[in-house]
Amino acid sequence: MRGLACSDFRATPTAAPDNERGVAVEISTEELRDTLLQQLENHFGAKRFTNAADAFDSVKAFVADRSARG
Report whether 47 contacts 8 (CB < 8 A).
no
Phi–psi pair at 21, nearest 5 degrees: -115, 5
pLDDT digits 0-9 by tens, 2-55: 555 555 566 677 778 777 777 788 888 888 888 888 888 888 877 888 877 888
CB neighbours (10 Å) of residue 52? 11
Output the pLDDT for position 32.
86
Q: How many CB atoms lie within 10 A of CB 28?
A: 7
